[in-house]
Amino acid sequence: MNLRYYLMRRIFLIIPTLIGLSVLTFSIARLVPGDPVGLAAGPQATPEIRETFRRNFGLDKPLPVQYLTYMQGIFRGDFGESLYSRRDVFEDLKRFFPATFELTVMAIFIATVLGVPAGVVSAMYRNRIPDHISRVISLFFVSFPAFWLAMIFQTVLGRELGLVPIGRRFSIVEAPPNTVSGLYILDSIIARDLDSLWLSLRHIFVPALVLSFSALASITRITRASMIETLEKDFVRMERAIGIPYQLIITKYVLRNAFIATLTVISLNFGWLMAGAVLIETIFDWPGLGLYAVESSLSLDFQPIMGITIIYGVVFSTINIITDMLYGVLDPRIRYG
Amino acid sequence: MAEISSSNVTDLESGAPVRWDNLRRGLYRFRSNTLSMVGLSALLIIVVIAIIAPFVVPFPEDAEGALHVTERLQAPSSVHPFGTDKVGRDIFSRVLMGTGLAFRVGFVIIVLATTIGVSIGGIAGYFGGWLDEILMRITDIFLTVPALVLAIAITAALGNGITNTMIGISLVWWPGFARLTRSLVLSLREEPFVEAAFGIGASNMRIIFRHILPNAVSPIIIKMTTDFGFAVLTAAALGFIGLGAQPPTPEWGAMINDGRSYFPDEWWIATFPGMAIWLMVFSWNLLGDGLRDVLDPRARR
């Protein structure tokens, strides 16, 4: 049982989950008491217009037929078109996904940079003042309603102090960097365009910072707990006994061992932050999946919502697999089978 | 937590002396944990506020649809400690009246999610086999999509309103409880006392309710406590988006949404409901963090 076999099996196992997910969202979309057609066709629509609408979108056929038609489309990269804007859902998803992905990666990066050291300090000063302070601070921040904090940060840092732009991913007047990945930071680096890089970073910083708060507490807590567990291992006592500097023991030996548990929590958080991004995007006008999901939900436009949930499903499953792969990198004893 | 554990206290059959001892030790640890005591006290105060709010707030009618257009957008003053909103309603009264609502919302979500999750996880873990496989694959489906996105979709489908928000969030909140319960049941099933009960021919029901669930209570309670705050937060988020409680319901998230376009000039409209949410969630988190230390001593050393 080698790595390639393991990987193939894991990827294969995603398929039934994704099919289940599509059935679930399809059921939500079709068995609803709400009246999407009425909403899309407008209040003045005559019964004939509604009927045409229904026929155009295939809503007059039996549900299983509708489902199969939809699934056939997905395999051709056709997620249908929005009931409301008449735009192609797949094109929209392609455009909005990188924005959400970039925001989430940045937030995870900030949460790790803040959370792991806080956890390490907590473990080193276990049950003493620095430990208590870091615990209270992380609980303090995780308890804020992110959308509220986002609104205040946006106003104070953006509008009042003028330190950062108040919304969107990029300047409205200037052209974003050449699209390679759709991730503006990466694209700016590829294009060696320092101005674009600086502009993208300024736009992403505050949204990502606010988003990172919700992951801070769990990253700090797990780093602390697994650091403490590792610090009690015999090899640490031995290393101290033979006189290796404590700082070196912590950074080189203990943290590396403790990081496996932290990695699990970071990858779990990646999913939660992508969900949290929904709210942050609404505040900062961030043109990502979250804003798209909220706008579609408010207009009962379920074609995009089905596409969005399936994209989320694919991303989540992929992240889980990548996490399991990374375990092997950090701990060579782990074998896949 | 004390009530639930004490129901077993006089029960000699299920190892009462040990439980008594654990409970006493747990209470001691809990009392000596300053943060969780702060959290518990804050929550008790919030509960008292929720109960007495309808009788003591200066303008109880403002929690419903009252309009005082002449007093609109007033800054905080002695008459209106938190100011007034765009139709002149007293924000202080509305924030306080919203406390009870936030409690009810959190409570309903957590109880529904726990009931569904513990049943599904318990059945899957106890009976195993194909039943386990099916139930866990269903759970996985829910876990592959961010709860918030699914909750938004379900609530949108059911129609706006606070009841549908609660249903929508509960329907996406249970998988965590199912996973937790399943893992607890799986390990408890291997314990000698459960095998002994099997051996003397105890029925499945008896084993589940007398031997397995009582021993799985602590971690489930910890999760209920830590999740409570986040459930309140999620419901407020849906209210903020506009899918949850509709005006004039004094729901904190909807109130923030209401004040958003007046921020920062009329800052008080959105600020005070946000602080109320923070206070409630922070208190739950302090309590939950402390309970984790008490009920699961391995988690914090």
pLDDT in tens, A18-44: 888 888 888 887 766 556 676 666 767
- pLDDT band at residue A53 under the 50/70/90 scheme: confident
The closest alpha carbon to A300, from A30, A27, A56, belongs to A30
Taking only residues 89 to 128 of chain B, the set having a beta carbon closer than 8 angstroms to any beta carbon of chain A reads none
- Residue B262 backbone dihedrals phi, psi, to 5 degrees: -100, 0
- A213 to chain B, closest Cα gap in Å: 13
- The DSSP annotation for A214-242 comes to HHHHHHHHHHHHHHHHHHTSHHHHHHHHT
- Residue A334 backbone dihedrals phi, psi, to 5 degrees: -70, 130
CB-based contact (8 Å) between A305 and chain B?
A: yes
First to last CA, chain B: 21
CB atoms A20 and B137 under 8 Å: yes
Domain housing A269: 89-287+306-330
> Which tokens is A334 given?
């782990």
**Residue A264 in domain:** yes
Q: From CA A213, how far away is CA B77, in angstroms rounded?
A: 33
Nearest CA in chain B to A297: B156
Give me the residue spans of the domains in chain B.
37-295
Check residue B18 and give its pLDDT.
Answer: 63
Q: Which residue has the higher pLDDT, B93 or A74?
A: B93
Tell me the count of A-B CB pairs closer than 8 A.
143
pLDDT in tens, A192-236: 788 888 888 888 999 999 999 988 888 998 899 889 888 888 888
Number of domains in chain A: 1
CATH number of residue A310's parent domain: 1.10.3720.10
Check residue B9 and give its pLDDT.
Answer: 42
Q: Is the peptide bond before B264 cis (omega within 30 degrees of 0)?
A: yes
CATH architecture of B37-295: Orthogonal Bundle (1.10)
CB-based contact (8 Å) between A248 and chain B?
A: no
- B255 to chain A, closest Cα gap in Å: 11
- Residue A278 backbone dihedrals phi, psi, to 5 degrees: -50, -50
- B36 to chain A, closest Cα gap in Å: 11
Q: From CA A184, how far away is CA A98, in angstroms rounded?
A: 9
Positive/negative CA dihedral, A134, A136, A142, A147: negative
**Residue A252 in domain:** yes
| Residues facing residue B90 across a β-bridge | B84
CB atoms A16 and B137 under 8 Å: yes
- B105 to chain A, closest Cα gap in Å: 16
Nearest CA in chain A to B290: A135
**Residue A211 in domain:** yes
Q: Is B289 exposed, middle or buried (0-12, 13-18, 19+ CB in 10 A)?
A: buried
**Residue A2 in domain:** no
Check residue B95 and give its pLDDT.
Answer: 92
**Residue A115 in domain:** yes
| pTM more than 0.90 | no
Check residue B5 and give its pLDDT.
Answer: 44
Chain B residues with beta carbon closer than 8 angstroms to that of A227: none
A234 CB-side CA count, 13 A: 0
Q: Which residue has the higher pLDDT, B17 or A273?
A: A273
Check residue A32 and give its pLDDT.
Answer: 64
CB atoms B285 and A136 under 8 Å: no
- A32 to chain B, closest Cα gap in Å: 5
**Residue A82 in domain:** no
CB-based contact (8 Å) between A279 and chain B?
A: yes
- Residues A326, A262: contact at Cβ < 8 Å? no
Taking only residues 249 to 288 of chain B, the set having a beta carbon closer than 8 angstroms to any beta carbon of chain A reads 253, 256, 260, 263-264, 270-271, 274, 277-278, 281-282, 285-286
- The DSSP annotation for A94-135 comes to HHHHHHHHHHHHHHHHHHHHHHHHHHHHHHHTTTSHHHHHHH
DSSP E strands: which ranges in chain A? none
Chain B residues with beta carbon closer than 8 angstroms to that of A140: 282
Chain A interface mutation, best of B32, B43, B144, highest count of A Cβ atoms under 10 Å: B144
CB atoms B158 and A34 under 8 Å: yes
- Residues A273, A104: contact at Cβ < 8 Å? yes
**Residue A103 in domain:** yes
Query: Quick count: other Cβ atoms within 10 Å of Cβ B31?
Result: 13
The CA-based angle A31-A36-A40, given to 5 degrees, is: 165
**Residue A15 in domain:** no
Percent of chain A surpassing pLDDT 90: 15
Taking only residues 17 to 76 of chain B, the set having a beta carbon closer than 8 angstroms to any beta carbon of chain A reads 35
Could you list the pLDDT tens digit for every one of the 301 residues in chain B? 344 444 444 444 455 556 667 777 777 777 777 888 889 999 999 999 999 988 888 888 888 777 787 888 888 888 888 888 888 888 999 999 999 999 999 999 999 999 999 999 999 999 988 999 899 989 988 888 878 888 888 888 888 889 999 999 999 999 999 999 999 999 888 888 888 988 898 888 888 888 898 888 888 988 999 899 999 999 999 999 888 888 788 899 999 998 888 888 888 889 999 999 999 999 999 998 888 877 765 555 5
Angle between helices A255-284 and A289-298 (to 10 degrees): 40
